[in-house]
Amino acid sequence: MWPAKGKADAELLALFEESGRNVQRATVLLRDLLTDYPEHPELAGAVRDCEHEGDRIAHDILHRLAERGPAHLDSADVHALAGALDDVVDHAEEAADQLGLYGVEAPMEAAVEMTEVLVLAADEVAESLSRLRDAETPLPHLVEIHRLENEADRIVRAAVASLFVTGIDPMIVIRWKDIFETLEASVDACETVANVLEGMSLKRAAANGR
């Protein structure tokens, strides 16, 4: 359930906040990489570093849970939340990698727009996680994440449709379709974070008789 104020494991909450900051960093780096691609290829390595850091944080979260027990956070929620946060960064790293693997020569405007949405969603994720410490319900941030996920769906549908009507090389269509789907998966993982946090909030409200 959502932790009662002052009751939850402070180290566990700190790790979730650290994961939120890592999500923010990875998405900003991906946006900057894609916006001027291929002017700053070193940013792909920085995104990869975030992916490794995300794995480390997820491991630390699960190790802490095994060591100390749930401490007012449901074990299933901890696992789901850690996994979803890790997925955001994993997909961001995959998208960064695809740019190089597919030999992308210049960014598509819609792809840059997708990364802007992803950065905004990551900011909302980080803010929601920071509210765990004070047992505040992050409902406005969760609503915004859902809105951003819907916006990402719209962008991807329009972008993929445009690829098929412009008559460009089919291989380019396939490559960009893959990239868009990976970017969408990263935003979807942000929404999964929101879903887990929303469930935790509902559990807390039920426990408090509201």
Residue-wise pLDDT tens digits, 160-178: 999 988 767 889 999 999 9
Stretch 74-96: mean pLDDT: 96
Residue 5 lies in a domain: no
Which pLDDT does position 1 carry in this prediction? 43
Listed in sequence order, the residues at least 6 apart from 64 whose beta carbon sits closer than 8 Å to its beta carbon are: 9, 11, 12, 15
CA 131 to CA 154: how far, in whole Å? 29
The answer to whether the predicted template modeling score (pTM) of the entire model surpasses 0.85 is: yes
What is the CB-side half-sphere exposure of residue 7 using CA atoms within 13 A?
12
Residue 4 lies in a domain: no
Q: Where are the alpha helices (DSSP H) in the chain?
A: 10-35, 42-68, 75-101, 109-130, 139-165, 170-207
- Per-residue tokens: 85: 């946060």
| Count of structural domains, the chain | 1
Structural domain including 17 reads 10-207
Residue 30 lies in a domain: yes
Check which CATH number belongs to the domain holding 152 and give it: 1.20.58.220
Residue 2 lies in a domain: no
